[in-house]
Chains A and B, each alone.
Chain A
Amino acid sequence: MLPDSITPRGAVANTKQMETRLQESVAPRQSFVDLNRWMERYQRADPQAPTALVVALSPPLLRFFRSQVASREQADDLLQETWLRIHRVRHTYRPGEPVLPWVYAIARRVRIDGYRRTRRITMHETAMDVLPERSAPVGPGNSLPAFDTLVAALPEGQREVVTMLKVGGLSLDEVARATSSTVGAVKQKAHRAYEKLRKLLEIHPEGGLREEVNELP
């Protein structure tokens, strides 16, 4: 049985339909239930499989990149790069194994490579003018700082774990697999991240977090 939020390619008739499906497929884990079956069909070159996988996995992957890198353009680039790599190494997915750790392990590597590439480019560039600071966005419907702004203050390892758990919807074991780590190490990182997030929220419960973010130990 296919997930409701994933329909065959023929049904992707117009962008409005796609947008609606996107809204539905953001994060809820139920939509990941049949990913294994879609991956197997992808390996067998079923033309419907890429559509199903892209629609189901791209929103959480984009959110993962958005919480790790600054701009939307970079996140879009990383998303495209991730899908290209997924396509290239799709034979390494083992049928029956969970899809999410496989996908996120690749996405994580793409992000690391992207970060190193950006760093190399910026090292050779000279800033001509002071760039305007990004304003700290506020979460919709409340006065709290947005999730991305908050997690940006966390060390890389903790940020990765929190994003995978809370945006990607991965379980502890899946995060451990995706980060080539152990469940114990993931738990420890998550605990430390939540402690730090609480401290951040305590400092500025009404937003305006930017100045304080880098001052925390």
Chain B
Amino acid sequence: MNCRDVDHALIESENPLTAPLSVQAQEHLMSCDRCRQLIRTLEVSHSAEGPSPVLLHQLERSLTEDLRPVRPLAPQRYLLAAFASIYVLIVAFGAYRMGAFAISVMSTLQAVATMCALAASSAVLTYSLVQQMVPGSRHRIPPHYVPAAVMISLVSVMAGVFHFQHEQNFWRQGWSCLRAGVPLGLLAALPFWLLLRRGAVLAPRIAGAAAGLLAGLVGTSALEIHCPILDAWHILTWHLGVALLGAVVGFAAGFAGEMATRSAQMAHH
């Protein structure tokens, strides 16, 4: 056994404070001064001064004074269902209002790949948002990577299944797509925000970017069903542009919220 194995034993122990080290690790400690010192230093950390009784009493009193029963947050599956319902309803509304012209001109591969990519991206974002509403949740992907990962995947899929062509009226047609997609994103953003407020989001910028991206994807999905232009440049710029715009606005809103909270705290201090 070497020093690295001792580290491993220290890290892997089921109960990091009280579990004894293995016999092999203890044998190594007999001969290794460096490891012995490390263990001694780490053990010292257990016996340190605590909070003053006065402070504890203050804390107890302030918590007890304002004690009311609260209803725990709805189970995860209900929150997931709520996000998914809002998403599907607004996309359906958008497709109904604008017409589903893209489905008839897309090939089967394009239709399946696009819809699957959008559904998977929305599912990943929704799951991440629901986890972010509860502090200390388990994250399969760290939440700060999720928006970027989703955007990269969508760009890759769209660039892979659609052809790059020279489109006439690139700006004019793009502008009309943007004008159709953004209001749907805004329409979705409000209920998403109301849902998020039920939880305790600890990183408003990251949650804001994820929620904004999800709202933007509502607009993108409706455009993918509606817009018959199959040029990859058009889709990447204007359809995914709605999602990107949503992420940027969501990030900015989260940042503004964070700054407002901090300013209020500074004034309080």
Contacts and interface: CB of A to CB of B under 8 A. Distances in A.
Interface of A: 9, 12, 15, 18-19, 22-23, 25-30, 43-45, 47, 50-51, 54-55, 58-59, 62-63, 66, 76-77, 79-81, 83-85, 87-95, 97-98, 100-106, 108-109, 113, 116-117, 120-121, 139-142, 144-148, 150, 165-167, 169-174, 176-178, 180-182, 185, 187, 190-191, 194-195, 197-198, 201-202, 205
A113 B262 contact: yes
A120 B70 CA distance: 35
B50 A22 contact: yes
Contact of B40 (A9, A47, A142, A177): A142
A195 B7 contact: yes
A144 B37 contact: yes
Contact of B69 (A26, A45, A116): A45
Interface string B146-189: 00000000000000000000000000000000000000000000
A191 B45 contact: no
Contact of A106 (B51, B63, B135): B135
Given A22-B53, A26-B48, A144-B41, 15 more contacts: A15-B53, A15-B54, A43-B70, A47-B64, A51-B64, A58-B56, A77-B269, A80-B59, A83-B59, A101-B136, A113-B262, A139-B40, A169-B15, A171-B15, A172-B11
Contacts of B265: 81, 113, 117
Given A102-B136, A165-B16, A170-B16, A43 B51 contact: no
Nearest to B65: A50
B50 A191 contact: no
B44 to A, nearest CB: 4
Interface residues of B, number: 69
Q: Which residue of B44, B140, B143, B144 has the most chain A CB atoms within 10 A of its CB atom?
A: B44
Interface in B196-231: 199-200, 202-203
B56 A142 contact: no
Contacts of B15: 29, 169, 171
A101 B265 CA distance: 24
B25 to A, nearest CB: 13
B71 A191 contact: no
Nearest to A109: B202
B166 to A, nearest CB: 44
